[in-house]
């Protein structure tokens, strides 16, 4: 398997650091090289897919309390 590396210093260890980008009102993480701080990517702090799965599990739970089938059959 190929190891990901920084294009600036060839470091192979990265970290997620919360960043503010002017004009963007969402919470974001910069994925940056721990060696030189070179940014390789920016991702949403809140993963939308995980939030949807959590919401689906909550719907299923509430439905079960009332004997109803709510939520999607994804589990
Ligand atoms: Zn680097």
Centre of ligand 1 to C-alpha 69, Å, is 50
Q: Is 27 left (phi over 0), alpha (psi -120 to 50) or beta?
A: beta
- Written as tens digits, the pLDDT of the chain (75 aa) is 999 999 999 999 999 999 999 999 889 999 999 999 999 999 988 888 888 888 888 988 998 999 988 877 765
Centre of ligand 1 to C-alpha 6, Å, is 5
In the chain, the DSSP E strands lie at: 14-19, 28-33, 39-44
pTM of the model: 0.62
What's the confidence (pLDDT) of residue 75? 56
What's the confidence (pLDDT) of residue 40? 93
Domain ranges, ordered by start, for the chain? 1-44, 47-75
**Alpha-carbon torsion (47, 50, 56, 58), positive or negative:** negative
Centre of ligand 1 to C-alpha 33, Å, is 5
Q: Are 33 and 65 in contact (CB under 8 A)?
A: no
């Amino acid at each position: 398997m190929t190891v990901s590396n920084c294009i600036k210093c060839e470091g192979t260890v990265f970290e997620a650091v919360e960043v503010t980008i002017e004009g963007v009102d969402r919470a974001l993480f910069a994925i940056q090289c721990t060696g030189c701080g070179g940014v390789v990517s920016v991702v949403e702090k809140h993963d939308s897919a995980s939030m949807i799965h959590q919401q689906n599990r909550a719907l299923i739970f509430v439905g079960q309390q009332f004997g109803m089938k709510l939520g999607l059959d994804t589990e």
